[in-house]
Protein backbone atom coordinates (compact mmCIF):
# COMPACT_ATOMS: atom_id res chain seq x y z
CA UNK A 1 0.00 0.00 0.00
CA UNK A 2 1.08 3.53 -0.71
CA UNK A 3 0.47 4.45 2.91
CA UNK A 4 3.21 2.09 4.11
CA UNK A 5 5.70 3.70 1.74
CA UNK A 6 4.73 7.12 3.04
CA UNK A 7 5.18 6.05 6.67
CA UNK A 8 8.55 4.47 5.94
CA UNK A 9 9.72 7.66 4.20
CA UNK A 10 8.53 9.72 7.16
CA UNK A 11 10.36 7.44 9.60
CA UNK A 12 13.57 7.65 7.58
CA UNK A 13 13.31 11.44 7.48
CA UNK A 14 12.61 11.62 11.22
CA UNK A 15 15.62 9.47 12.11
CA UNK A 16 17.80 11.46 9.73
CA UNK A 17 16.61 14.66 11.39
CA UNK A 18 17.51 13.22 14.77
CA UNK A 19 20.97 12.31 13.51
CA UNK A 20 20.38 8.58 14.03
CA UNK A 21 21.99 7.21 10.88
CA UNK A 22 21.59 3.56 11.84
CA UNK A 23 17.83 3.84 12.34
CA UNK A 24 17.57 6.05 9.26
CA UNK A 25 19.33 3.33 7.26
CA UNK A 26 16.99 0.67 8.63
CA UNK A 27 13.93 2.77 7.82
CA UNK A 28 15.31 3.47 4.35
CA UNK A 29 15.66 -0.28 3.84
CA UNK A 30 11.92 -0.52 4.46
CA UNK A 31 11.47 2.16 1.79
CA UNK A 32 13.55 0.02 -0.58
CA UNK A 33 11.39 -3.02 0.17
CA UNK A 34 8.24 -1.00 -0.51
CA UNK A 35 9.60 0.18 -3.85
CA UNK A 36 10.63 -3.36 -4.79
CA UNK A 37 7.17 -4.65 -3.92
CA UNK A 38 5.64 -1.98 -6.16
CA UNK A 39 8.18 -2.72 -8.90
CA UNK A 40 9.54 0.82 -8.76
CA UNK A 41 13.02 -0.37 -9.67
CA UNK A 42 14.73 2.98 -10.13
CA UNK A 43 13.38 4.33 -6.86
CA UNK A 44 14.48 1.13 -5.13
CA UNK A 45 18.05 1.53 -6.41
CA UNK A 46 18.15 5.17 -5.31
CA UNK A 47 16.79 4.40 -1.85
CA UNK A 48 19.15 1.44 -1.45
CA UNK A 49 22.13 3.64 -2.28
CA UNK A 50 20.99 6.09 0.41
CA UNK A 51 20.58 3.24 2.90
CA UNK A 52 24.08 1.95 2.12
CA UNK A 53 25.54 5.42 2.63
CA UNK A 54 23.72 5.90 5.94
CA UNK A 55 24.73 2.45 7.17
CA UNK A 56 28.37 3.07 6.30
CA UNK A 57 28.33 6.41 8.08
CA UNK A 58 26.83 4.73 11.14
CA UNK A 59 29.66 2.15 11.02
CA UNK A 60 27.16 -0.68 11.39
CA UNK A 61 28.46 -3.50 9.20
CA UNK A 62 25.35 -5.66 9.57
CA UNK A 63 23.07 -2.79 8.59
CA UNK A 64 25.39 -2.06 5.67
CA UNK A 65 25.21 -5.69 4.54
CA UNK A 66 21.42 -5.58 4.70
CA UNK A 67 21.29 -2.39 2.63
CA UNK A 68 23.78 -3.80 0.11
CA UNK A 69 21.69 -6.95 -0.31
CA UNK A 70 18.71 -4.78 -1.11
CA UNK A 71 20.81 -2.85 -3.61
CA UNK A 72 21.89 -6.13 -5.21
CA UNK A 73 18.27 -7.27 -5.42
CA UNK A 74 17.22 -3.97 -7.00
CA UNK A 75 19.99 -4.33 -9.58
CA UNK A 76 19.10 -7.96 -10.22
CA UNK A 77 15.42 -7.30 -10.95
CA UNK A 78 16.49 -4.69 -13.50
CA UNK A 79 18.78 -7.22 -15.20
CA UNK A 80 21.78 -5.24 -14.02
CA UNK A 81 24.84 -6.87 -12.50
CA UNK A 82 24.21 -7.39 -8.78
CA UNK A 83 27.64 -8.96 -8.17
CA UNK A 84 29.45 -5.93 -6.75
CA UNK A 85 26.70 -5.10 -4.25
CA UNK A 86 26.25 -8.76 -3.29
CA UNK A 87 29.95 -9.42 -2.79
CA UNK A 88 30.32 -6.21 -0.79
CA UNK A 89 27.33 -7.27 1.33
CA UNK A 90 29.01 -10.59 2.05
CA UNK A 91 32.21 -8.84 3.09
CA UNK A 92 30.26 -6.51 5.39
CA UNK A 93 28.40 -9.45 6.92
CA UNK A 94 31.68 -11.26 7.51
CA UNK A 95 33.11 -8.13 9.14
CA UNK A 96 30.09 -8.06 11.44
CA UNK A 97 30.62 -11.73 12.28
CA UNK A 98 27.31 -12.71 10.71
CA UNK A 99 28.53 -14.82 7.79
Write the pLDDT tens digit of every residue in 27-49: 999 999 999 999 999 999 999 99
Verdict on whether the full-model pTM lies above 0.85: no
Question: What is the number of domains present in the chain?
Answer: 1
pLDDT exceeds cutoff 90 at 93: no
Domain of residue 28 covers 2-95
Q: What is the pLDDT of residue 37?
A: 93
What is the mean pLDDT of the segment spanning 53-78? 89
CA distances from 2 to 72, 83, 85 (A): 23, 30, 27
Q: Dihedral sign, CA of 56, 92, 22, 50? A: positive
pLDDT exceeds cutoff 80 at 84: no
Rg (CA), the chain: 13
Q: Residue 98's pLDDT band (boundaries 50, 70, 90)?
A: low
Amino acid sequence: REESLQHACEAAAAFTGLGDRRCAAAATCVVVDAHLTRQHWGAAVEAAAVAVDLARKSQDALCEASALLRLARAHFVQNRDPYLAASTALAAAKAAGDA
